[in-house]
Amino acid sequence: MSPEAAASAMGPETAWRPSPAAWLSGWRLATFVIAALILTPIGIVFSAFLSPASDVWNHLVATTLPRLLINTFWLVLGVGAGAVLLGVTLAWLTAVCEFPGRRIFSWALLLPLAIPAYVTAFVVVSLFDFTGPVQTWLRSVLPPAWFWFPPVRGRLGVTLVMVLAFYPYVYLLARNAFMSQGRRTLEAAQSLGLNRVQGFFRVTLPMARPWIASGAMLALMETLADFGTVAVFNYDTFTTAIYKAWFGLFSLPAASQLASLLVLIAFVLLLGEQRSRSRRRFAETRPGAPTDRIQLQGLHRWLAFSLAALVLFAGFLLPLGQLLFWAAALVAQEFDERYLEFLWHSLFLSATAALLTGATALMLAYASRLHQDAATRLAVRIATLGYALPGAVLAVGIFIPVLWLDTWLTGLARRLVDLEAGLLLQDTLAAMLIAYVARFLAVGHGPIDSAMHRITRSIDEAARSLGVSGAAMLRRIHIPMLRGGLLTALALVFVDVMKEMPITLMMRPFGWETLAVRIFELTSEGEWERAALPAVTLVAAGLIPIILLLRPTEQDREG
Amino acid sequence: MTFMNAEPTVPADPKAAAQATATVPLQLNNVSHAYGDHIVLQDLSFQLRQGQIGCLLGPSGCGKTTVLRCVAGFERLRQGEIWLAGQRVSSPDFHAPPEQRRIGVVFQDYALFPHLTVADNVGFGLHRLNRRARAARVAELLQTVGLEHSAALYPHQLSGGQQQRVALARALAPRPDLLLLDEPFSNLDVDLRERLGLEVREILKSQHATALLITHDQHEAFAIADEIGIMMAGRIQQWDTPYHLYHQPANRFVADFVGQGVLVEGQVLNSRWVEIELGALSGDIPSECAQGCASCGRGCSVEVLLRPDDVVHDDGSPLRAEVIHKAFRGADILYTLRLPSGQRVLSLAPSHHNHALGEPIGIRLEADHVVAFRKDRDEVSNAKAR
């Protein structure tokens, strides 16, 4: 069979090829390279087990590992349960019920996403720790015998902060599910004799389960990947252990062995997330008539209001207010040339990473548009799995091969031109940028890919039948239609990189500090007030994606 | 224009072929196409005259959309050739790209450019004109389709019917040699479909456009097209006017697909007459049946197509048939009747002739000419385009 016939054997959909044949292998090759970019660090961290166990590793297994596992177990369980409970409850209240302030809460409850978890963490610790204002005040008004306060820097504190920071993932997806179910299915249940409460538990909730599961998995991925929050609470998990093994015990092998265990846990979450994602397709329904909302009565109205208000206050208003208060007090002192340097570093890194990621995502989107074969599809899926890999894992898994490459290059330089060169890549931004692209490619790929899907095959064909093809089609059709998705992708990646902590901390060139690194350094010294100014800057940037997220929500409300 | 100079290699006498097709906007010669082993089109030939609206009508999966895609140049040919306005544009060893074919396409999903206004969509293909000429042509077309006040709107602000008109105006704007319409009304309400169908026909006629419509809806085909090709299993079963398709179907498939009707058993009397349970009728008798066959000595057994309007309800008629189903359709009632032998026929009766199920009612034949098919033969796949 000729290649033509072989291609067309897969049917009319796959036989469609709008671009000259010469490009085909190029797009596909690029996709495979990007997929390799994700697979390499995973392979690297696992290969650490091939080398004989080091003393450091044996020491870690004996002393730290059990605690890490137990800590991670309780954290994942606590954050998962808390985020689902809070997220689903709030989503149901704002999507299906009517209570005072519902319209505002329905978007405002997403605001905690704008504050990085480690920022909420240090505000909470500073306020509620033994020396903080809350406990100090309680001690002054209560007799000593009555005084009791739960330990803030323990399991409870870190879990609560993460629930407050990550419940919006569940909230967002569950709310979409509840809104898109419309009224028909519930009416069908009612016509079969269920009341509204039974209908909720037997129809609404089961139908929304795949969305809720997806949200929970995303929240848990963030939990696993988190470095800054657990660092503030001194609550050891794998990410902090990796950092300590690398920068405290100077053992990269031990760090990568820890990283490989973390990857295993992340894979379990990833499997769950992918499963729920594919189930979502089956449970998808057309949005029906707008729901006629349940009018909460009497006490219930105010309970709903109080819950939403409390969450909004604790997750957003309180930390932001405290930060603004501190920042205002110290702005004259802290806003100096050094601060501008951190800011510049953050902006530069974020912008560069956003552009690189955007370009890579665009390449993937074009590749999957041009090739619908199984190999390309698989490669695109692998390439966009980086969101499940904690930054600490990527840092280790990319740093090690860069180190090898560097040693090889300097050796080569020495042999070839007798040049005594320092390490070339290790101390540059290149390795760090690669890690960012790997981590945030999925974030950038989503909006670009969905914009690409809007350029249907008949759009291309319409342009060609009107005599427009090649570069003119790119200029007149593709670029304008992709612009929105591309800008969204750039904004999302920009903000994510700005807030990113572990990769930046572990891979930055010596002395290269960003706002996030600065916050880490100040909070590990307990200098909460001074960390406020960089934190406020990050929150301001973090509001951008929330605004982008809110646009479809506005439409939902009108529709 | 590279393809203009390309020497045709397939026809034995290229000059004669070129002359023959010089004034024909579209001609397909023995076109075949396949996806792998799955044959989609087999030996397809037809042509359209200048200003004619042709239609390919068939059930989904019959290959009609593939014909459109081959003509537009979105698919390459396996066999045969396609000529557009006297130019050979497709053959197994030659393929002119769509952008050089001077065709317009109205897509099933309209494929309007969402980032452009209505006016910019319509003017999209006019990039060779200067600004003033382009604006004039756009204004003219928007007026033709009745959207002159929507020029500045974006596609998502329009209703489905309006989007459809924009798609039509956009395709017509560059004055294509041939307009292709792919199921253009399938996304619209039934009411709108009928109204727009007539409107589209008027617009096409006013622009003197030659057009090929692809559809699975016979009402749509009848409303718009001058001539229709009935497609089944990758072949054109019959290419004819709507009137002939209905009254003189070439084979059982066409008889079944176009309009309503039943096949009843009959005996050939002679070369012009056939007898069925309800009486003798003149009709189209398959020639080999008219000769008489060895087994019965008379004519063969045949099947005769009876349309609902061939069987008339008449209370005074001695012929009786039992009502086994009825469909009230407003102006008339469509009865399904059982003849004494058990055979079923359809009959259209005026609405006020309301009879109950199970009731025997009087009927008589009122058909001056019917079509008969040989019983034991499946000639569906062998019919040729007329």
Question: Nearest-5° angle of CA B219, CA B373, CA B213?
Answer: 25
Nearest CA in chain B to A459: B111
pLDDT, tens digit, 9 for 90 and up, residues A83-126: 999 999 999 999 888 899 999 999 999 999 899 999 999 999 99
Q: Tell me: pLDDT of B3 over 50.
A: no
For B328, what's the count of Cα atoms within 13 Å in the CB-facing half-sphere?
8
Token pair belonging to A288? 């029906």
Which span out of A155-169, B33-47, B189-203 was modeled with the highest average pLDDT?
A155-169
The answer to whether residue B97 neighbours chain A at the CB level (below 8 Å) is yes
| ipTM given for this complex | 0.76
pLDDT, tens digit, 9 for 90 and up, residues B51-94: 999 999 999 888 899 999 999 999 888 899 999 998 899 999 99
Backbone angles phi, psi at B283, to 5 degrees: -175, 180
Token pair belonging to A21? 């044949």
pLDDT, tens digit, 9 for 90 and up, residues A356-378: 999 999 999 988 888 888 888 89
Which residues contact residue A374 at a Cβ distance below 8 angstroms, ignoring those fewer than 6 apart? none
Dihedral sign (CA B165, B168, B170, B173):
negative
| Cα of B309 to nearest chain A Cα, Å | 42
Contacts of B171 in chain A (CB under 8 A): 465-466
The CA distances from residue A213 to A170, A174, A274, A441, A550, in Å, are: 8, 9, 10, 22, 22
What is the signed CA dihedral for B121, B127, B132, B137, rounded to 10 degrees?
A: -50
Q: Please provide the average confidence, as pLDDT, over all residues in chain B.
A: 84
Q: Which residue has the higher pLDDT, A559 or A320?
A: A320
Token pair belonging to A111? 């605001």
Q: Which helix (H) or strand (E) segment is B57 a member of? A: strand B53-57
> DSSP characters for A476-515?
IIIHHHHHHHHHHHHHHHHHHHHH--HHHHHHSPTT---H
Between chains, do B99 and A481 touch, taking CB under 8 Å as contact?
A: no
The answer to whether residue B60 neighbours chain A at the CB level (below 8 Å) is no
pLDDT, tens digit, 9 for 90 and up, residues A407-416: 888 888 777 7
Contacts of A472 in chain B (CB under 8 A): 127
Biggest alpha carbon–alpha carbon distance for chain B: 78
| Cα of A466 to nearest chain B Cα, Å | 5
pLDDT, tens digit, 9 for 90 and up, residues B272-297: 788 888 888 887 777 666 665 555 55
Hunting for tokens 């204004």 — which residue is that?
B139
| Cα of B98 to nearest chain A Cα, Å | 5
Q: Tell me: pLDDT of A428 over 80.
A: no
Would you say how long chain B is, in residues? 386
Q: Tell me: pLDDT of A406 over 50.
A: yes
Could you tell me the pLDDT band of residue A552, with boundaries at 50, 70 and 90?
low
Q: Tell me: pLDDT of B38 over 70.
A: yes
The residues in A 464-523 lying below 8 A from B, measured between CB atoms, are 464-469, 472, 476-477, 480-481
The residue among B65, B93, B99, B128 with the most chain A CBs within 10 A of its CB, best to mutate, is B99
| Cα of B38 to nearest chain A Cα, Å | 8
The answer to whether residue B66 neighbours chain A at the CB level (below 8 Å) is yes
| Cα of B372 to nearest chain A Cα, Å | 39
> DSSP characters for B264-275?
EEEEE-SSSEEE
The phi-psi region of residue A127 (left if phi > 0; otherwise alpha if psi is between -120 and 50; otherwise beta) is: alpha
Cite the DSSP H helix spans in A236-335.
Answer: 238-247, 252-283, 298-312, 318-334
| Cα of A445 to nearest chain B Cα, Å | 21
Name the residue among A465, A411, A444, A459 with its Cα closest to residue A548: A444
Could you tell me the pLDDT band of residue A1, with boundaries at 50, 70 and 90?
very low
The answer to whether residue B80 neighbours chain A at the CB level (below 8 Å) is no
Q: Please provide the average confidence, as pLDDT, over all residues in chain A.
A: 85
| Cα of B88 to nearest chain A Cα, Å | 17
Name the residue among A372, A404, A394 with its Cα closest to residue A506: A394
Between chains, do A466 and B35 touch, taking CB under 8 Å as contact?
A: no
The answer to whether residue B104 neighbours chain A at the CB level (below 8 Å) is yes
Name the residue among A555, A368, A519 with its Cα closest to residue A445: A368
pLDDT at A557: 39
pLDDT at A371: 81
pLDDT, tens digit, 9 for 90 and up, residues B135-144: 999 999 999 8
B224 near B199, Cβ under 8 Å? no
pLDDT at B324: 92
Q: Tell me: pLDDT of B43 over 70.
A: yes
CA distance B234 to B248: 21
The answer to whether residue A3 neighbours chain B at the CB level (below 8 Å) is no
What is the signed CA dihedral for B243, B244, B246, B249, rounded to 10 degrees?
A: -170
pLDDT at A312: 96
Token pair belonging to A136? 């100090």
* Percent of the residues in chain B that have a pLDDT greater than 90, as a whole number: 42
Over the Cα atoms of chain A, what is R_g? 26
Size of interface A-B (CB pairs under 8 A): 86
CA distance A405 to B329: 81
Mean pLDDT value of segment A215-238: 92
Q: Tell me: pLDDT of A439 over 60.
A: yes
A95 near A535, Cβ under 8 Å? no
Between chains, do B36 and A9 touch, taking CB under 8 Å as contact?
A: yes
The residue among A14, A452, A466, A479 with the most chain B CBs within 10 A of its CB, best to mutate, is A466
| Cα of B226 to nearest chain A Cα, Å | 24
| Cα of A465 to nearest chain B Cα, Å | 5
Q: Which of B99, B113, B174 sits opposite A459 (nearest CB)?
A: B113
Strand partners, B56: B214, B229
pTM of the full structure: 0.79
Please state, as a whole number, how many other Cβ atoms lie within 10 Å of the Cβ of residue A147: 12
Name the residue among A472, A208, A227, A461 with its Cα closest to residue B72: A461
Q: Which of A12, A462, A463 sits opposite B35 (nearest CB)?
A: A12
Mean pLDDT value of segment B223-242: 92
Could you tell me the pLDDT band of residue A182, with boundaries at 50, 70 and 90?
low
Task: Fill in the DSSP letter of residue B58.
Answer: -
pLDDT, tens digit, 9 for 90 and up, residues A268-299: 888 888 888 787 766 655 555 555 777 888 89
The answer to whether residue A459 neighbours chain B at the CB level (below 8 Å) is yes
Contacts of A463 in chain B (CB under 8 A): 113, 124
**Which has the minimum average pLDDT: B9-18, B47-56, B249-258, B369-378?**
B9-18
Please state, as a whole number, how many other Cβ atoms lie within 10 Å of the Cβ of residue A6: 11
The answer to whether residue A19 neighbours chain B at the CB level (below 8 Å) is no
Between chains, do A456 and B109 touch, taking CB under 8 Å as contact?
A: yes
Q: Tell me: pLDDT of B185 over 90.
A: no
Long-range contacts of the stretch A51-57 (C-beta < 8 A, 24+) = A51/A253, A54/A251, A54/A253, A54/A254, A56/A245, A56/A249, A56/A251, A56/A253, A56/A254, A57/A251, A57/A253, A57/A254, A57/A257
The answer to whether residue B108 neighbours chain A at the CB level (below 8 Å) is yes
Q: Tell me: pLDDT of B380 over 80.
A: no
pLDDT, tens digit, 9 for 90 and up, residues A297-316: 889 999 999 999 999 999 99
Between chains, do B127 and A11 touch, taking CB under 8 Å as contact?
A: no
pLDDT at A23: 46
Name the residue among B97, B53, B52 with its Cα closest to residue B72: B97
Could you tell me the pLDDT band of residue B9, with boundaries at 50, 70 and 90?
very low
Q: Distance from first CA to last CA of chain B, Å, rounded?
A: 35
The answer to whether residue A8 neighbours chain B at the CB level (below 8 Å) is yes
Between chains, do B125 and A5 touch, taking CB under 8 Å as contact?
A: no
* Percent of the residues in chain A that have a pLDDT greater than 70, as a whole number: 89
